[in-house]
Amino acid sequence: MTRPSHRRAEAGQTIWLAFGGEADQPWLRLLRRGFRHCFAAIRDEAGWTVLEPLSGRLLVARLPVPAEFDLPGFYRRAGLAVLGPFEATAPHARWLPPLSPFTCVGLCRALLGPEAPFALTPFGLYRALGGEVAGEARESRKKNLDCGFWPV
Protein backbone atom coordinates (compact mmCIF):
# COMPACT_ATOMS: atom_id res chain seq x y z
CA MET A 1 0.00 0.00 0.00
CA THR A 2 1.37 3.40 -0.92
CA ARG A 3 1.33 6.15 1.61
CA PRO A 4 -1.06 9.07 1.00
CA SER A 5 1.89 11.42 0.43
CA HIS A 6 3.08 9.29 -2.51
CA ARG A 7 -0.37 9.18 -4.08
CA ARG A 8 -0.61 12.97 -3.84
CA ALA A 9 2.88 13.49 -5.28
CA GLU A 10 2.24 11.49 -8.44
CA ALA A 11 -1.30 12.56 -9.31
CA GLY A 12 -1.37 14.63 -12.50
CA GLN A 13 2.38 15.20 -12.77
CA THR A 14 4.40 15.11 -15.97
CA ILE A 15 8.19 15.06 -16.08
CA TRP A 16 10.39 16.77 -18.65
CA LEU A 17 14.15 16.15 -18.81
CA ALA A 18 16.58 18.78 -20.11
CA PHE A 19 20.12 18.03 -21.26
CA GLY A 20 22.96 20.45 -21.83
CA GLY A 21 25.72 22.13 -19.99
CA GLU A 22 29.29 23.16 -20.36
CA ALA A 23 32.30 21.91 -18.42
CA ASP A 24 32.35 23.89 -15.17
CA GLN A 25 34.23 21.01 -13.50
CA PRO A 26 37.42 19.64 -15.13
CA TRP A 27 36.22 16.02 -15.11
CA LEU A 28 33.06 17.01 -17.06
CA ARG A 29 35.22 17.59 -20.14
CA LEU A 30 35.28 13.80 -20.53
CA LEU A 31 31.54 13.83 -21.31
CA ARG A 32 30.02 14.65 -24.70
CA ARG A 33 29.69 18.37 -25.39
CA GLY A 34 26.10 19.52 -24.94
CA PHE A 35 25.29 16.48 -22.76
CA ARG A 36 27.35 17.13 -19.64
CA HIS A 37 24.40 17.71 -17.32
CA CYS A 38 20.71 16.88 -17.06
CA PHE A 39 17.90 18.04 -14.80
CA ALA A 40 14.16 17.63 -14.46
CA ALA A 41 11.16 19.92 -14.62
CA ILE A 42 7.92 18.61 -13.14
CA ARG A 43 4.58 20.06 -14.15
CA ASP A 44 1.43 19.68 -12.09
CA GLU A 45 -1.88 21.53 -12.01
CA ALA A 46 -0.38 24.36 -9.94
CA GLY A 47 2.76 25.03 -12.00
CA TRP A 48 6.37 23.98 -12.50
CA THR A 49 9.01 22.60 -10.12
CA VAL A 50 12.65 22.24 -11.22
CA LEU A 51 14.98 19.67 -9.64
CA GLU A 52 18.60 20.32 -10.53
CA PRO A 53 21.50 18.49 -8.90
CA LEU A 54 24.46 20.82 -8.74
CA SER A 55 27.97 20.16 -7.47
CA GLY A 56 27.53 19.46 -3.78
CA ARG A 57 23.82 20.29 -3.47
CA LEU A 58 20.35 19.73 -4.87
CA LEU A 59 18.42 22.75 -6.12
CA VAL A 60 14.63 22.45 -5.88
CA ALA A 61 12.75 25.49 -7.12
CA ARG A 62 9.06 26.20 -7.61
CA LEU A 63 8.95 28.58 -10.57
CA PRO A 64 6.72 31.66 -10.40
CA VAL A 65 5.09 30.92 -13.77
CA PRO A 66 1.61 29.59 -14.55
CA ALA A 67 1.08 25.89 -15.30
CA GLU A 68 0.31 26.79 -18.94
CA PHE A 69 3.79 28.30 -19.45
CA ASP A 70 5.79 26.42 -22.12
CA LEU A 71 8.87 25.66 -20.01
CA PRO A 72 10.14 22.87 -22.34
CA GLY A 73 9.92 25.31 -25.25
CA PHE A 74 11.81 27.91 -23.22
CA TYR A 75 14.59 25.38 -22.55
CA ARG A 76 14.73 24.39 -26.24
CA ARG A 77 15.05 28.04 -27.27
CA ALA A 78 17.90 28.32 -24.76
CA GLY A 79 19.76 25.56 -26.63
CA LEU A 80 19.01 22.58 -24.39
CA ALA A 81 17.84 19.17 -25.63
CA VAL A 82 14.49 18.36 -23.98
CA LEU A 83 12.66 15.04 -23.74
CA GLY A 84 9.17 14.44 -22.41
CA PRO A 85 6.55 14.41 -21.20
CA PHE A 86 6.93 11.32 -19.04
CA GLU A 87 4.20 10.32 -16.62
CA ALA A 88 5.14 10.11 -12.94
CA THR A 89 4.94 6.50 -11.77
CA ALA A 90 4.23 5.00 -8.38
CA PRO A 91 7.27 4.21 -6.23
CA HIS A 92 8.14 0.57 -5.77
CA ALA A 93 9.51 -1.24 -2.75
CA ARG A 94 13.18 -2.26 -2.79
CA TRP A 95 15.03 -4.69 -0.65
CA LEU A 96 18.18 -2.59 -0.73
CA PRO A 97 18.77 1.08 -1.49
CA PRO A 98 20.44 1.79 -4.85
CA LEU A 99 24.20 1.47 -4.59
CA SER A 100 25.07 4.14 -7.13
CA PRO A 101 26.44 7.63 -6.48
CA PHE A 102 24.07 10.59 -6.52
CA THR A 103 24.39 12.17 -9.96
CA CYS A 104 22.17 14.17 -12.27
CA VAL A 105 21.48 10.98 -14.26
CA GLY A 106 20.59 9.09 -11.07
CA LEU A 107 18.11 11.79 -10.07
CA CYS A 108 16.42 11.79 -13.48
CA ARG A 109 16.23 7.98 -13.52
CA ALA A 110 14.74 7.99 -10.00
CA LEU A 111 12.04 10.43 -11.12
CA LEU A 112 11.17 8.25 -14.11
CA GLY A 113 10.62 5.27 -11.84
CA PRO A 114 11.46 1.58 -11.96
CA GLU A 115 11.11 1.34 -15.75
CA ALA A 116 13.79 3.96 -16.38
CA PRO A 117 16.54 2.75 -18.72
CA PHE A 118 20.00 2.13 -17.34
CA ALA A 119 22.47 4.92 -18.12
CA LEU A 120 25.61 6.36 -16.57
CA THR A 121 25.98 9.61 -18.50
CA PRO A 122 23.52 12.30 -19.57
CA PHE A 123 24.08 11.41 -23.24
CA GLY A 124 23.50 7.72 -22.48
CA LEU A 125 20.19 8.56 -20.79
CA TYR A 126 19.19 10.83 -23.67
CA ARG A 127 19.82 8.08 -26.22
CA ALA A 128 18.19 5.37 -24.08
CA LEU A 129 15.02 7.48 -23.87
CA GLY A 130 14.89 7.79 -27.66
CA GLY A 131 16.53 11.16 -28.14
CA GLU A 132 17.91 11.92 -31.60
CA VAL A 133 21.14 13.80 -32.19
CA ALA A 134 21.13 16.28 -35.07
CA GLY A 135 22.88 14.90 -38.14
CA GLU A 136 22.89 11.31 -36.90
CA ALA A 137 20.44 8.66 -38.09
CA ARG A 138 19.67 6.22 -35.29
CA GLU A 139 18.42 3.35 -37.46
CA SER A 140 21.34 3.21 -39.89
CA ARG A 141 24.49 3.65 -37.87
CA LYS A 142 26.53 1.19 -39.97
CA LYS A 143 28.67 2.51 -42.77
CA ASN A 144 27.88 0.89 -46.11
CA LEU A 145 30.52 0.60 -48.81
CA ASP A 146 29.57 0.87 -52.44
CA CYS A 147 30.94 -2.17 -54.28
CA GLY A 148 31.31 -0.18 -57.51
CA PHE A 149 35.02 0.49 -57.11
CA TRP A 150 36.05 -2.89 -55.62
CA PRO A 151 37.26 -5.62 -57.97
CA VAL A 152 34.79 -8.45 -58.30
pLDDT tens-digit map of 86-116: 998 776 666 655 666 788 899 999 899 888 8
Q: Is residue 137 part of a domain?
A: no
pLDDT of residue 95: 60
> Within a domain: residue 141?
no
**Does any domain span residue 45?**
yes
Asked if the model's pLDDT at residue 138 lies above 60, the reply is no
In terms of residue numbers, what domain contains 30?
A: 7-90+100-130
Question: Does 109 map to a domain?
Answer: yes
Q: Is 135 a domain residue?
A: no
Query: What pLDDT score does 72 carry?
Result: 97
Please indicate, yes or no, if residue 20 is contained in any of the structural domains.
yes
Percentage of residues of the chain with pLDDT beyond 90? 43
Dihedrals phi, psi of 62, to nearest 5 degrees? -95, 115
Question: Residue 2 above 60 pLDDT?
Answer: no
User: 68 in a domain, yes or no?
Assistant: yes
Domain count, the chain: 1
**DSSP readout, the chain?**
---HHHHHHHTT-EEEEEEE---SSGGGGGSPTT-SEEEEEEEETTEEEEEEEETTEEEEEE-SS-TTS-HHHHHHHTT-EEEEEEE-------SS---S---HHHHHHHHH-TTPPP-SSHHHHHHHTT---TT--SS--S----GGGS--
56 found inside a domain? yes
* Residues 46-102 pLDDT 10s: 999 999 988 778 999 999 999 999 999 999 999 999 999 999 877 666 665 566 678
